[in-house]
Structure 1
């Protein structure tokens, strides 16, 4: 079909970063700001202490998840690989397609706001590319 994408497990940027050439190519890597959103599902975390360890400016990983409620689910993980929540369902279809096509996406915390017992974490989503 014309709209089908081939799913890749690794992308060029992550392969280069883990190789000795990564130090040479690192200055060529660009983070392209795509979108501003927030982390969804923070109030449903089993271990909410992970939210106490984040700060504005932290870089976060985005990872696809096989999820029976949302076929485009994207996990947001801290630098230790611990779950912070999800890209909101209303925002995730394009990002899911990019991840499925092997693109590397990251999130950066832009704000942390306490609203009663709820913590709202704003993020910018970036495409990392050469």
Structure 2
């Protein structure tokens, strides 16, 4: 139905991203660097092909996940919404609280190191602000 309300969990920036208003607001968007971390769980990916498609400087999406193992779980996704892994549990408490309070966070790949069967992905975490 065209008249139904839809919940958008991508934040305000995702609402204006493909809209003409987005071009007006883009100069007002600031990315505030918060922290360096890495992507956890890359060895447990069902589709490992995503690891060969990413590159340094790629922007990544961060999304809260209802997870029985970690109440503060934050998924790390490519812009195509392909799963890369998670923000490490040791680093995610503050970021989860910010996201739960409605703040938009994103990540950017800083390093990629292939170590045999393991791929280490370093990321910077940013607060997107207007």
TM-score normalized by the length of structure 1: 0.89
Match of 1:85?
A: 85
User: Secondary structure at the residue paired with 1:21?
Assistant: helix
Q: Give the drift of 1:96.
A: 0.5
Deviations along 1:20-70, one digit per CA (max 9) or x if unpaired, are: 221111101001110000000000101101100000000000000000000
Distance 1:70 1:112 in 2: 25
Aligned positions of 1:1-130 closer than 5 A = 9=9, 11-130=11-130
Q: Which runs of 4+ in 1 moved over 2 A?
A: 8-20
Contact 1:14/1:104 (8 A) holds in 2: no
C-alpha RMSD over aligned residues: 1.5
Q: In 2, Cα distance between the equivalents of 1:14 and 1:22?
A: 9
Counterpart of 1:81 in 2: which secondary structure?
coil
Q: Structure 1: state its 5+ residue gaps.
A: 1-7
Aligned length: 123
Q: Unaligned stretches of 5+ in structure 2? A: 1-7
What is the aligned partner in structure 2 of residue 3 from structure 1? Answer: none
What's the CA shift for 1:18?
Answer: 4.5
**Hey, what does 1:5 align to over in structure 2?**
none
State the shift of 1:15 in Å.
Answer: 3.3
CA–CA separation in structure 2 for the residues paired with 1:12 and 1:67? 24
- The offset of 1:79, in angstroms, is 1.2
- TM-score between both structures, scaled by the size of structure 2: 0.89
* Distance (Å, rounded) in 1 between the aligned partners of 2:108 and 2:10: 21
Q: Deviations over 1:72-102 (max 9, x none)?
A: 0000000110100000000000110111111
Q: Could you tell me how far 1:13 is from its partner in structure 2?
A: 3.3
